[in-house]
Amino acid sequence: MDVLREFANGALRLRVLRYASTDEVHGAWLTEELATRGHRVSPGTLYPLLHRLQEAGLLKSRTEVVDGRRVRRYRTTKRGKRVLTDCKAVLAQLAEDMA
């Protein structure tokens, strides 16, 4: 078991939820933004993650056509926002314990 990888994957999921909680996001933007935070994520990793978060009821999506191309935009659901708030509390406690 790779504990660091599991922790990084959890951080990735939380970042996606956080970004989608403030505005609609799409995959290309997420890929770029996550890279600035040290997460080098391929489409083969990101899109299944987005779909899993949507299936779990944490994200919702809509599709629109931009310049003739379909773009799927994601937004955090009410449940996703509650989960994000709970996770922030757990992370704050963890940070306090680790200090």
The reported pLDDT for the residue numbered 4 is 87
What is the SS3 assignment for 39? coil
What is the SS3 assignment for 57? coil
Overall pTM > 0.85: yes
Average pLDDT over every residue of 1-28: 91
Average pLDDT over every residue of 16-26: 95
Report pLDDT digits (tens) over 35-54: 998 888 999 999 999 999 99
Distances (CA, A) of 70 to 56, 62, 67: 23, 10, 8
* Tokens standing for residue 37: 């935070």
Phi/psi for 70 (5° steps) reads: -80, 130
